[in-house]
Amino acid sequence: MALLDKFNALRQASAAVISDIGLLPFGVGFDAILSPTEAVWRGRRVVMLGSNNYLGMTHDPDCVDTARRALDDWGRGSTGARPASGTFSLHRALEQDIAAFFGVDHAMLFTTGYQANLGIIGTLCGHGDVVVLDRDSHASIYDGARLSGATVRRFQHNDIGSLRQILESLGPDRASNCLVAVESLYSMLGDLAPLTEIAAICREHGSLLLVDEAHSLGVFGPSGAGLVKAEGLMDSVDFLVGTFSKSLGTIGGFCATRHDIEALRVAARPYLFSASAPPSVIEGARTALARMEAMDAERARLLANADRLRHGLAALGLRVTAGTGPIVAVMLDNLVETTCFWRDLLEEGVYANCMVPPATPGGVFLIRCSVSASHDDSQLAEVLAAFGRALERRRSVSDAAATVAR
Ligand code: PMP
């Protein structure tokens, strides 16, 4: 049973968290989703502050309508991978929409954003190549690099000097045949990549650049096209990867590029060997992409909501990471403090994400909040009041501990 025994340490760690705080942060299940910003947990309403529903698009009536119609017209699933029976006119239409949206010639859909990184990075690169990653990259970027069999080099997070050093150390031949992969808005700390500088260094060394816009699509830039477009870098970015599971409110991934990647349709294993997304998802995503372009008011509201939360939490005396987008992370000191605070917050009616090492960069402990344009003023006030009460609980516990120690 050695295969199972190696999970004993994880089992014990989970059991210890449950015995300390009464529930497991990664095991929360909701009884119902009431709206983009409210859910039911253990029979009570909670404000959702932990989803990536940046534009509230999960419940957009137009998207729901088109998804429902596709369900009626096409059935529930494709039951096949794209190269076999899983390509419908809808999949091709969405690929054309994405290519047109980004002004490039090629777009390739994947069933999830995770698979998009796996399929693009893992297939473009191979043994003998080099993938250079920002150290804080998402697991899907790491896993794509691993799948490729290429040599993986990591540069310090958002550190241009560190990137430059690695590319220079590779020498001109290898540097000009390597893939640099970064995110534009990092999902843990909510900070932005210095894309303009990164693109300039890649150009200087002839390296290809992949940018994962998972969290910035729909949030930044003209028509919500993301940071690459906002910074005028479409010509400098070779592969733009994105997901439908955040601002677009459904599931799916894509790569948009000016390079001819059509051959990857018969080479990328995550594309070749996994069923394509169901028609309802594809049609919902198409409508969401079109809706997203016209959502400037929601984007302004989203960023204003994030600012309000950021300032409100700082005013309560919490340490909030610097950031400009919808991810607002509060830093705490250790595992016990973070899990207790997270539980208190949930009991006070707010679900945020509890993020602890090894999932976090630099071993930080975070309560990670994701704001939505759909949060209204009263919900934000409710959230800040709940944080205030959770802080009070923490203070009374430490006061009691200090009294006992005396
Ligand atoms: N890239 C990044 C940067 C992400 O944060 C995520 C999801 N958390 C993904 C890719 C994967 O997206 P999906 O949920 O569509 O698999």
The domains of the chain, with CATH numbers, are 10-55+296-405 (3.90.1150.10), 60-293 (3.40.640.10)
- Residue 402 or residue 295, greater confidence: 295
Indicate if the pLDDT at residue 402 is higher than 80: no
Residue 52 CB–ligand 1 contact under 6 Å: no
What lies within 8 Å, CB to CB, of 261 at 6+ separation is 106, 108, 120, 255
From the CB of 279, is ligand 1 less than 6 Å away?
no
Give φ, ψ of 212 to 5 degrees.
-90, 115
187 ligand 1 Cβ < 6 A: yes
In tens, the pLDDT along 132-178 reads 999 999 999 999 999 999 999 999 999 999 999 999 999 999 999 99
Going by alpha carbons, the residue nearest to atom 15 of ligand 1 is 113
pLDDT in tens, 79-126: 999 999 999 999 999 999 999 999 999 999 999 999 999 999 999 999
- Exposure class string for 16-31: b at 16+ Cβ within 10 A, else e: ebeeebebebeebeee
What pLDDT is recorded for position 403? 73
Ligand 1 within 6 A of CB of 136: no
**222: its two tokens:** 């003209």
**Residues sharing a CB contact under 8 Å with residue 175, sequence separation 6 or more, in sequence order:** 167, 168, 205, 206, 207
Does the beta carbon of 239 lie inside 6 Å of ligand 1?
A: no
What the block records as the tokens of 316 is: 């309560």
Check whether 259 has a pLDDT greater than 80.
yes
244 Cα nearest atom in ligand 1: 15
Task: Report whether residue 250 contacts ligand 1, using a CB cutoff of 6 Å.
Answer: no
Greatest CA separation for the chain: 73
According to DSSP, the residues that pair with 210 across neighbouring strands are 181, 239
Q: How many residues does the chain have?
A: 406
Instruction: Give me the residue label for tokens 């650049």.
Output: 209
**Closest residue CA from atom 1 of ligand 1:** 214
Which residue's CA is minimally distant from atom 12 of ligand 1?
113
Best residue for ligand 1 mutational test, from 112, 140, 368 (most atoms within 8 Å of Cβ) = 140
Amino acid identity of residue 375, one-letter, is: H
Q: Can you tell me the mean pLDDT for 328-351?
A: 96
Residue located nearest, by CA, to atom 13 of ligand 1:
113
Q: How far apart are CA 352 and CA 200, in angstroms?
A: 37
Average pLDDT, whole number, for the chain? 96
Dist. CA 103 → ligand 1 center (Å): 23
Mean pLDDT of 336-360: 95
Beta-bridge partner residues of 327:
370
What six digits make up the tokens of 124? 């473009």
Output the pTM of the full model. Answer: 0.96
Cis bond before residue 358 (omega within 30° of 0): yes
What pLDDT score does 406 carry?
Answer: 67
**Helix-helix angle 377-405:296-315, to 10 degrees:** 20
Residue-wise pLDDT for 20-49, tens only, equals 888 888 889 999 999 999 999 999 999 999
